[in-house]
Amino acid sequence: MAVLDVEGEQAGIVGGVQFAGTEVLPEAPLGIAEDLVDTGYVLIDGAGHLANDAYAGGDQIDDVSDVVRLNVRRLDLVRAESTTA
């Protein structure tokens, strides 16, 4: 399912969904990761050349129908941290 930002730009596609209160901690900086767990989050597989995966918190999702529409710009999303050296 496609994910569009507030400007209609494609942020990527849904890579996973975790509901509020999940025990699955996202690969995000501490503090932010806990906030995402509290609101629930969507993992977004990034769009474009050399794109990073990102997370949208439940409070950043405006609508879900045939696409997920965000209420923020894709550049303002929390980027997934790499777990490789």
> What per-residue confidence (pLDDT) applies to 85?
43
pLDDT band at residue 48 using 50, 70 and 90 as cut-offs:
low
Q: What value does the mean pLDDT of the chain take?
A: 91
Structural domains in the chain plus CATH codes: 2-74 (2.30.30)
Mapping DSSP to helix (H, G, I), strand (E, B) and coil, where does residue 37 land? helix
pTM: 0.87
Residues 6+ apart with CB under 8 A from 12: 2, 3, 44, 45, 46, 47, 51, 53, 54, 74
Q: Report whether 15 contacts 52 (CB < 8 A).
A: no
pLDDT category at 49 given cuts 50, 70, 90 is low
Could you read off the pLDDT of 24-41 as tens digits, one per residue? 999 999 899 999 999 999
